[in-house]
Structures are given as C-alpha cells and as structure tokens.
Amino acid sequence: MAHFIEQLVNAVTLGAIYGLIAIGYTMVYGIIGMVNFAHGDVFMVGSFIALLFILLLGLSGSMPMMLLILALAAVLLLAMALTAVWGWTIERIAYRPLRGSFRLAPLISAIGMSIVLANLVQILQGANVKPLQPIVTGGITLIAGEEGRSGAGISNIQLLIIVTTLTLMGLFTWIVKATPLGRAQRAVEQDRTMAALTGVDVDRTVAITFVIGAALAAVAGMMFLLYYGVIDFYIGFVAGIKAFTAAVLGGIGSLPGAMLGGLVIALVETFWADWVGSAYKDVAAFSILAIILIFMPQGLLGRPEVEKV
C-alpha cells in the first residue's frame, strides 16, 4: 500500500507539470484554432531562465525558510515575465502575420520557431545537461515504514508543485469565466469577426493569451527544474509532446481537460514504468491517446466541434 501511495504522489506531481504546459496549448487552440508547436520550447526557455536567476542569487537549501520562499517567488515572477516576452514574440512573429493564410502556414512557422529556440539555447548554454542541487528539501510522512518496509510520503517540492498547479488552475479558470478578458477570449473563440465588430480587440486578446500560456509554461519549467534538478535544451520537445497529448486527451480547448489529460498521461506512465518497465511507458501513454481519439474524438472533457456554415 505504501508503495502504491508513493507512486500515486509521483504521478500526480508529474501530471501537474504536464497540465501546466497543456493549458498553454489548449488556451491558444481555443482562441485561434491553431496548435502552438513552439510551446514546449517556451517551457524549456522558462526553466533555463529560472536556473540562471537561481544561480545568480546563490539559492540553496541551507538558507532560512522565509528568505528562500521569498527568493523563489522572485525568481518565479522574473521567469514568468521574461518567458511571457517570448510568448508575445512568437505570436507577433510566427502567428499574427499568417493568421489569414492557409491553416498549415502558422503551424510550419511555429515549428520553425521551436527549432530556433532549441538551437539558440543550445548555442548559448551548451548541449550538456545543467544540474541543480536540491533547494526545496524535506517532506511529510503519509505512511510510516515498519519492519524493514519503506513508508510513503510527499516531499515539500511535490507539495509545492501540486498546490501551485491547483492555485493557478483555479485562478485562470476564474479569469476565463468571470473577467472582461475571459469574455473577450470566449468571444474571439466563437467568432473573431463578430467579436471585432462588437469592439473586442482581437489582436490584443490573442497576444495576451499567448503571454498567459508562456507564463504558465515558465511556472512548469521552474517546477520541473526544482523537482528533477537537471535540464537541457531538449526537454522542451519531450515535455511538449507529452503536454500536447494531455491537452488532446482531455479535450483541447478545455482548461479542466488539460489538467485531467496531464494526470491521465502521468498515471499511465508512472504505473506502467513501475509494473511493466520504463522502456515502453511512452508507447503506453500514446496508445491510450489513440484509443480515446478513436472512440471519443473530442477528448474526455471537450465539446464536439460544430462546423459553421
């Protein structure tokens, strides 16, 4: 039982990271109907920005707890702000000029932007992995070990990731449902032309959506860095594909669906690796996606797409 609880906590933590990245995919798709294939590399850029500031400030687990919390909060805000600039840049360069073009043009442009970001970080930071010593240490014991058996617990970094994800999920769900920005986003999602005729600034709304998605990717990047303690220029591709799978699985365009899809993918990966072996955990995750799309093309929480005529 203790081992199962331990693996469940690991899966929920990984699912929270996938979900944060997937929200960026699903928000952009919901607004303009396009997939931002550079989003995974924005996540990678966010993790490198966080690493840079952590090293510059000399943060370590030996610092007083309150000072460490304040320093990490400052690093997070800086990473979100600078990564949001990348999100705005991608929208301005790779999407806005091609918005009226054929549907494949922005996708090809976004893939090109993904390659640019990956290679830029590789040139600036090198191809070697970048390690980070554990900063957030300690944890809470859930099940005490007895007679040679290991117990189960949740580390403070896992708790931080889960609480941060749930808080941001609630915040952005409220923004979309109950704020003028959210109403503008829903209007642009339904009909960009009519939204513009009613006074909605479509360009501004789309740009803010990209900025929000990039900021959430930066949060995921920093959580990934603190949790695993090692990053490289290639993590954006792998995590981005997993998060995109999570967004499609949960129902792309649905914020709760993005989180649910991330959790399902993480559960499949974690328990498959534990029970069967890690060699084919990715195959298992993508097989689940294929099965869902065959029988539920709209995903778990998505709405069937109605074609406008």
- Whether 161 maps to a domain, the answer reads no
Q: Which domain holds residue 265?
A: 2-142+168-295
- Whether 303 maps to a domain, the answer reads no
For residue 102, the model assigns a pLDDT of 78
Percentages helix, strand, coil for the chain (3-state, rounded to 5) are 75, 5, 20
Q: Which parts of the chain are beta strand (E)?
A: 130-131, 139-143, 152-155, 230-231
Please tell me whether residue 113 adopts helix, strand or coil conformation: helix
Mean pLDDT along residues 104-123: 89
Mean pLDDT along residues 125-133: 90
- Whether 76 maps to a domain, the answer reads yes
- Whether 128 maps to a domain, the answer reads yes
pLDDT digits (tens, 9 = 90+) for 4-53: 888 889 999 999 999 999 988 888 887 777 788 899 999 999 999 999 99
- Whether 154 maps to a domain, the answer reads no
- Whether 96 maps to a domain, the answer reads yes
User: From the DSSP assignment, how many helices (H) and strands (E) are in the chain?
Assistant: 11, 4
Provide the pLDDT confidence category of residue 304 given band limits of 50, 70 and 90.
low
To the nearest 10 degrees (0 to 180), the angle between helices 156-178 and 180-190 is 70
Any alpha helices (H) in 180-201, and if so which ranges? Answer: 180-190, 192-197
- Whether 151 maps to a domain, the answer reads no
* 3-state SS record for 254-293: CHHHHHHHHHHHHHHHHHHHHHCCHHHHHHHHHHHHHHHH
Provide the pLDDT confidence category of residue 303 given band limits of 50, 70 and 90.
low
State both tokens at 186: 């829903």
Provide the pLDDT confidence category of residue 59 given band limits of 50, 70 and 90.
confident
- Which of 121, 43, 123 is closest to 87 using CA atoms? 43
Residue 248: CATH number of its domain: 1.10.3470
- Whether 306 maps to a domain, the answer reads no
The average confidence (pLDDT) of the chain is 86
CA distance 233 to 300: 32
Domain count, the chain: 1
For residue 65, the model assigns a pLDDT of 84
Mean pLDDT along residues 152-175: 88
